[in-house]
Chain A
């Protein structure tokens, strides 16, 4: 028994944002019925593929995003398919979509009408710029949304204005962020619906999700308390913090308070260069020259250190220094192992692999992965016949 057992969700989404949202619900026990076109969700055609060979059951991306779901194929390009979808709508609690604005209406589910036609349905539509996106924002990818949101222009920190701003980490960070807020809103709506029996229409704009993640600075800027500018460093903080090369990779060091400086002094045995810095300089006298001088010494020192060991020594003294982890480090992390973050899943084509789990451990309703992603159309007959999840 997990938290969302008994809820039935229809996933019309075919992108990463909507499929991740559906996964967040499915891993808590919701019965998520994934409606796929006859040739399958487009995410089945995105890599990585088993042995590098494309194929509908060979995508690691699809396998990751669709654990615990059921798959039913339905051709929404014809009247029969649309009529079948209408019948399914009467049997579900929530719908997740992430097509372009207008698609839902063409599939017979006008967001403006659904409150009347299906008053108990929770309908969540995710799109790059919202259901009311203007013409000049109709075409978007995760990259363009990341840059429309402000995160792109300000990445990396300490940007060189002559070099291009960077994409975020990985291919789909904006989609994951949007899927997370979508899942939050859907569950909040289901919570209220338990008492009111009323549904809701939710419109998630990926640009807005990402921009809201910068609220600490952006709210100050729109309020006029912090300067908004055309500078690439407008989101940055002053100080020597940053990524430094180590003997076996990279480490990130953060220093903002006297306690951090004192801890570093202890760790380094109070070297001569540190004695030339004034008391509380990080707070009160953080000049670019001192930052550069400090970084020069940090770089020379850390180049000789091993990232995990030096982090453990620093942390014991109260210095916020951490390794810059790669995938191998994460899989080997004793903390991740303790929390059982990675979950072994067996898939008929991909075999047994560790999948990233979820960042929350829950005492009463732990999320779990009971089933690998479905084979295309595996549950079509069951779903169309009105059967419940096995």
Chain B
């Protein structure tokens, strides 16, 4: 059955995914959330590790479900020539291919850009790799924290005068995916205006460097970069301070006036006129004393209440939110960030929705697909194969 038109800016766009784990699927998820029809090509012979690792039921795999909602699944074994032929037929009726298989894998399978272009000359072909698809180091592979280390991000996170500690281990895949999705959407727009498709080669490492772009400019201008804890060259105080019960609060004084307001909020107005803290250079020079004073004030307080109190005084402050805080954050719920999806078995399940709100959004309704849930739609309605041919493909193990 034809999936219904969910609306959204990318309604009518068909995307085929040959993707694994997180970064590649994240591209498809963003495009699906914008309204595209996204079809995952999967096979029992080369299942995404997130369907099976530490999971009893590949059709109820929580990690897989997290990054593949609102997609379709078709089973095609791309290690068989007939499977490759089927994928090319599908691509002939699609607008985009997204792949993040191991370096060179798509070419070895016979699904490189040169081949796909024969089937679909105006295809938007998105290739994702740690280092991109070509170049002296393109053979190297890694997982998200490797991208962050290589891209210069990890070295910029850490406590003062200590070795770098890096971002949380989960950082990088989704950012890489968002960069790829942006380039892919630009290419779709170009194709709509010109009729021309293209090959896009995305580097995870460079997507990380782009998250600290100004730091590289600073380096070129002679700045020395080192891990600096929570400090900031343009603001003081700027930090994360202890609260009651192991909680933490982040706060920053953006101006001298904000610092005076903070002194007032802490009911220590004399600090506002204290020469040690009179302006930014003075506060930077006495930052440890400043941090100690603020830490003493926050330590006796509840983080959320202290943040609300500081906000009332016009100060940028937020509780450092734990995962419990996040899943119960009333503002995220009010904005529709968490969505309820209909699962293939009819049950419902909550998930993380899009990062944006927009007018005329795409409907987001369906959970991640079961393996091969949309075989009939893809084979019959897109590829026009009759029942006999579908049975033959299944029996031959091409659609397994």
User: A residues near B, CB below 8 A?
Assistant: 3-4, 16, 20, 24, 28, 46-50, 60-61, 63-65, 115, 129-130, 132-141, 143-157, 161, 163-173, 176-177, 180-185, 187-192, 194-195, 198, 200-205, 207-209, 211-226, 228-232, 234-237, 241, 243, 245, 250-252, 254, 256, 311, 315, 320, 322-331, 333-336, 338-339, 341-342, 350, 353-365
B185 at interface (Cβ–Cβ under 8 A)? yes
For window 178-215 of B, CB contacts with A under 8 Å fall at 178-183, 185-190, 192-193, 196-207, 209-215
Tell me the nearest residue of chain A to B172, going by C-beta: A213
Interchain CB contact (< 8 A) of A191 among B63, B66, B185: B185
B319 x A148 contact (CB < 8 A): yes
B323 at interface (Cβ–Cβ under 8 A)? yes
In the bound complex, CA of A144 to CA of B251 (Å): 6
B359 x A3 contact (CB < 8 A): no
For window 46-71 of B, CB contacts with A under 8 Å fall at 62-63, 65-67
- Shortest Cβ distance from residue A86 to the other chain B in the assembled complex, whole angstroms: 21
Tell me the nearest residue of chain A to B239, going by C-beta: A164
B157 x A155 contact (CB < 8 A): yes
Q: Given A185-B34, A243-B149, A356-B216, 16 more contacts at CB 8 Å?
A: A64-B217, A132-B335, A136-B311, A141-B238, A169-B212, A194-B193, A212-B174, A220-B62, A252-B145, A252-B154, A254-B143, A254-B145, A324-B166, A355-B213, A358-B210, A360-B202
Tell me the nearest residue of chain A to B54, going by C-beta: A283
- Shortest Cβ distance from residue B184 to the other chain A in the assembled complex, whole angstroms: 9
B143 x A320 contact (CB < 8 A): yes
* A183: B residues at CB distance < 8 A: 182
20 contacts between A and B (CB under 8 A): A49-B221, A143-B239, A143-B251, A147-B321, A150-B323, A168-B157, A170-B156, A170-B215, A176-B213, A201-B358, A207-B331, A220-B62, A231-B323, A251-B149, A322-B140, A338-B135, A353-B217, A358-B210, A360-B179, A360-B201
Interchain CB contact (< 8 A) of B337 among A144, A208, A256, A331: A208
B9 x A147 contact (CB < 8 A): no
Interchain CB contact (< 8 A) of B210 among A155, A245, A356: A356
B203 x A339 contact (CB < 8 A): yes
- Shortest Cβ distance from residue B190 to the other chain A in the assembled complex, whole angstroms: 4
B66 x A215 contact (CB < 8 A): yes
* B34: A residues at CB distance < 8 A: 184-185, 188
B326 at interface (Cβ–Cβ under 8 A)? yes
B11 x A139 contact (CB < 8 A): no
B169 x A237 contact (CB < 8 A): yes
Tell me the nearest residue of chain B to A208, going by C-beta: B355
The contact string, 1 if C-beta is below 8 Å from chain A, for chain B 309-334, is: 01110111111111111110001101
The residue among A184, A188, A243 with the most chain B CB atoms within 10 A of its own CB is A188
- Shortest Cβ distance from residue B203 to the other chain A in the assembled complex, whole angstroms: 5
B197 x A64 contact (CB < 8 A): no
Which of B78-86, B222-230, B391-399 is the contact stretch?
Answer: B222-230
- Shortest Cβ distance from residue B84 to the other chain A in the assembled complex, whole angstroms: 22
* B181: A residues at CB distance < 8 A: 184
* A201: B residues at CB distance < 8 A: 358-359
Interchain CB contact (< 8 A) of A315 among B139, B203, B325: B139
* A48: B residues at CB distance < 8 A: 217-218, 221-223
User: B residues near A, CB below 8 A?
Assistant: 8-11, 22, 26, 29-30, 34, 62-63, 65-67, 131-132, 134-143, 145-146, 149-159, 163-171, 173-176, 178-183, 185-190, 192-193, 196-207, 209-223, 225, 229-230, 232-235, 238-242, 246-248, 250-252, 254, 307-308, 310-312, 314-327, 331-332, 334-335, 337-338, 349-360
Q: Given the known A-B contacts A3-B190, A187-B186, are A355 and B217 also in contact in the complex, defined by CB atoms under 8 Å?
A: yes
In the bound complex, CA of A339 to CA of B332 (Å): 39
A250 x B164 contact (CB < 8 A): yes
Tell me the nearest residue of chain A to B254, going by C-beta: A141
Tell me the nearest residue of chain A to B60, going by C-beta: A225
In the bound complex, CA of A180 to CA of B197 (Å): 22
Q: Given the known A-B contacts A183-B182, A237-B169, are A176 and B149 also in contact in the complex, defined by CB atoms under 8 Å?
A: no
* B22: A residues at CB distance < 8 A: 216
- Shortest Cβ distance from residue B116 to the other chain A in the assembled complex, whole angstroms: 13
- Shortest Cβ distance from residue B91 to the other chain A in the assembled complex, whole angstroms: 17
Interchain CB contact (< 8 A) of B220 among A133, A145, A353: A353
A230 x B246 contact (CB < 8 A): yes
* B197: A residues at CB distance < 8 A: 364
Interchain CB contact (< 8 A) of A241 among B169, B174, B323, B326: B169
- Shortest Cβ distance from residue A357 to the other chain B in the assembled complex, whole angstroms: 8
B202 x A150 contact (CB < 8 A): no
B170 x A235 contact (CB < 8 A): yes
Interchain CB contact (< 8 A) of B183 among A168, A194, A360: A360
A191 x B192 contact (CB < 8 A): yes
- Shortest Cβ distance from residue B88 to the other chain A in the assembled complex, whole angstroms: 19
In the bound complex, CA of A141 to CA of B174 (Å): 22
A143 x B238 contact (CB < 8 A): yes
Tell me the nearest residue of chain B to A123, going by C-beta: B359
- Shortest Cβ distance from residue A150 to the other chain B in the assembled complex, whole angstroms: 5
Tell me the nearest residue of chain A to B126, going by C-beta: A360
Interchain CB contact (< 8 A) of A364 among B196, B312, B321: B196
A235 x B179 contact (CB < 8 A): no
A315 x B159 contact (CB < 8 A): no
B141 x A320 contact (CB < 8 A): yes
* B217: A residues at CB distance < 8 A: 48, 60-61, 63-64, 353, 355-356
Interchain CB contact (< 8 A) of B221 among A4, A130, A156, A353: A353
- Shortest Cβ distance from residue A192 to the other chain B in the assembled complex, whole angstroms: 4
In the bound complex, CA of A218 to CA of B174 (Å): 13
B189 x A190 contact (CB < 8 A): yes
- Shortest Cβ distance from residue A110 to the other chain B in the assembled complex, whole angstroms: 13
The residue among B146, B182, B203, B239 with the most chain A CB atoms within 10 A of its own CB is B182
A167 x B240 contact (CB < 8 A): yes
Q: Given the known A-B contacts A147-B240, A157-B168, are A225 and B62 also in contact in the complex, defined by CB atoms under 8 Å?
A: yes
A203 x B356 contact (CB < 8 A): yes
